[in-house]
Amino acid sequence: MVVTHPGEGAGEAADAAVTGTAGCPVVVRTADCPPVVLLGERSVGVVHAGWRGLRDGVVEQAVAALADLGDPPRVAHLGPCIRVGCYEFVGPERHEMAALYGSAVLGTTTAGTPGLDLPVAVIAALQAAGVEQVEDTAGCTACDPRWYSHRKRGDAERMATLAWLEHS
Ligand SMILES: [Zn+2]
């Protein structure tokens, strides 16, 4: 969704929010799914990039929404999320994800079971959308207790990832 004034869309379910309006924060809440921040010169966006959203093209759509504001993002930041070593992922969607983002998304967990590498999928989606610079400095929500994990520990809490423009 495109947010044009503070508070717009509050409480609505959406996997991505972008804005070109200064002083208008956009936020996603996550616990295991990758949070992504998109930075343009005069616009910003946030994305909740779980596997369903990735499959449905939410990252590419958010990049396109910023481009529609006249400002395609150049840089993306990937926040703390579950990493492949902790993320068992079985079922027919494995091959759907590999078809979309390449076989490198099909990893293995530390337990030796089939895993899904969400950061690899996010970076592939960003690069396909033209965002070449991706900063990924955060760790794994499942095995680092500094973060909340819905999947590993059943945490009810969520982490908030915010972005805003100070000046238009
Ligand atoms: Zn982990």
User: How many A from CA of 96 to the centre of ligand 1?
Assistant: 23
- pLDDT tens-digit readout, 102-112: 999 999 999 99
The answer to whether residue 33 is domain-embedded is: yes
Distance CA 32, CA 12 (A): 20
The answer to whether residue 145 is domain-embedded is: yes
- pLDDT tens-digit readout, 48-80: 999 999 999 999 999 999 999 999 999 999 999
Q: What's 58's domain CATH number? A: 3.60.140.10
DSSP codes, 86-125? G-B--STHHHHHHHHH-GGGEEE-TTSSEEE-HHHHHHHH
pTM equals: 0.94
Which residues contact residue 52 at a Cβ distance below 8 angstroms, ignoring those fewer than 6 apart? none
Task: Kindly list the protein residues that place their beta carbon closer than 5 angstroms to ligand 1, a single-atom ion.
Answer: 83, 86, 140, 142-143
Containing domain of residue 92, as a range?
Answer: 2-163
The answer to whether residue 96 is domain-embedded is: yes
User: How many A from CA of 11 to the centre of ligand 1?
Assistant: 30
User: How many A from CA of 22 to the centre of ligand 1?
Assistant: 36
Percentage of the chain with pLDDT > 70?
Answer: 99
pLDDT band at 92 (very low <50, low <70, confident <90, very high): very high
The answer to whether residue 168 is domain-embedded is: no
User: How many A from CA of 25 to the centre of ligand 1?
Assistant: 30
Overall number of domains in the chain: 1
Whether the per-residue pLDDT at 136 is higher than 90: the answer is yes
Distance CA 55, CA 75 (A): 22
Let me know how long the chain is: 168
The answer to whether residue 72 is domain-embedded is: yes
More confident residue, 137 or 78: 78
The answer to whether residue 137 is domain-embedded is: yes
User: How many A from CA of 143 to the centre of ligand 1?
Assistant: 4
